[in-house]
Amino acid sequence: MDYLLIEGARPLKGDIEISGSKNAALPMLMASILSKKISHFTNLPRLSDVDFALKILIELGGNVRMIREHNSISAYIEFDDKANCVAPYELVRKMRASISVLGPLLARYGKVKVSLPGGCAIGARPVDLHIMVMEKLGAKITIEDGYIIAEADKLKANDIVFPFVSVGATQAAMMTACVADGTSVIRNVSMEPETVELGNMLNSMGAKIEGLGTETLTIKGLNSKTLPGSDNPIHILPDRIEAGTYAIAAAATRGKVNIKNSIPKHLDILLYNLKESGVNILQTDNGFTVDATRLDNIKPIDIVTAPYPGFPTDLQAQWMAYMSVACGSCTITEKIFENRFIHIGELFRLGARVKHSANVATVYGVKKLTGAPVMATDLRASASLIIGALIAEGTTEIHRVYHIDRGYERIDEKLKNVGAKVTRLREV
Interface residues toward ligand UD1, by CB under 6 A: 23, 123, 125-130, 165-169, 307, 312-314, 336-337
Contact 62, 33 (CB under 8 A): yes
Quote the least distance from Cβ 321 to ligand UD1, whole Å.
17
Residue at 240: amino acid letter: R
CA distance 114 to 6: 40
Contact 66, 73 (CB under 8 A): yes
Neighbours of 6 (CB within 10 A): 25
Residue at 221: amino acid letter: G
Please, which residue, 40 or 340, has the CB nearer to ligand UD1? 340
17: left (phi over 0), alpha (psi -120 to 50) or beta: beta
Quote the least distance from Cβ 314 to ligand UD1, whole Å.
5
Please, which residue, 299 or 335, has the CB nearer to ligand UD1? 335
Please, which residue, 128 or 215, has the CB nearer to ligand UD1? 128
Task: Give the CA distances from residue 245 to residues 155, 294, 364, 384, 386, in Å, rounded to whole numbers and listed in that order.
Answer: 40, 20, 21, 8, 10
3-state secondary structure of 403: helix
Please, which residue, 258 or 313, has the CB nearer to ligand UD1? 313
CA distance 53 to 23: 12
Please enumerate, as own/partner, the contacts of 272-278 that have beta carbons within 8 Å and a separation of 24 or more: 273/301, 273/303, 273/311, 273/319, 274/247, 274/248, 276/301, 277/251, 277/301, 277/322, 277/326
Residues annotated catalytic, as ranges: 120
Quote the least distance from Cβ 256 to ligand UD1, whole Å.
28
3-state secondary structure of 323: helix
Quote the least distance from Cβ 108 to ligand UD1, whole Å.
22
Quote the least distance from Cβ 167 to ligand UD1, whole Å.
4
Please, which residue, 186 or 336, has the CB nearer to ligand UD1? 336
